[in-house]
Structure 1
Amino acid sequence: MKKNIKELREKYLLNPPEGMTSEDIRHMSEDDLLDMDYFLNEDDLDDDFGKEGFYLF
């Protein structure tokens, strides 16, 4: 897991999200970094549940 955190930190250090600086990213905790990444990529994780269609429950 540490390798993934390091890769995420490097990704956001090179291209910080709008409103943040590389310095902000550098000082983020691992949990904060993971949370930020999750929320920035939340739409990519959409499984289409709840969209119009037929569902069996």
Structure 2
Amino acid sequence: MTEKKLAAKLREKYIQDPPEGMSAEEIRNMNDGDILDMDYFMHEDDDFYDEVD
């Protein structure tokens, strides 16, 4: 999966269920790199995390 496709899937996931302290609008306005970074840092300690449900 390309980074662009992964970022699009993650964006949709986080728009539907934004992380605490963020709004769907903030997620919608993030660039692809920011989405990927946010997801990485939210799950960097989770050994069994599947990137996209």
Instruction: Tell me which of the two structures has the higher relative contact order, counting C-alpha pairs closer than 8 angstroms and 6 or more residues apart.
Output: 2
Find the counterpart in structure 2 of residue 29 from structure 1. 31
Taking structure 1 as the reference length, the TM-score comes to 0.73
Task: Write out the 4+ residue segments of structure 1 that deviate beyond 6 Å after TM superposition.
Answer: none
Identity of matched residues, % = 58
Taking structure 2 as the reference length, the TM-score comes to 0.78
Gaps of 5+ in 2: 48-53
Task: Give the paired residue count.
Answer: 46
CA RMSD, 1 decimal: 1.5
Structure having the higher Rg: 1
Gaps of 5+ in 1: 46-57
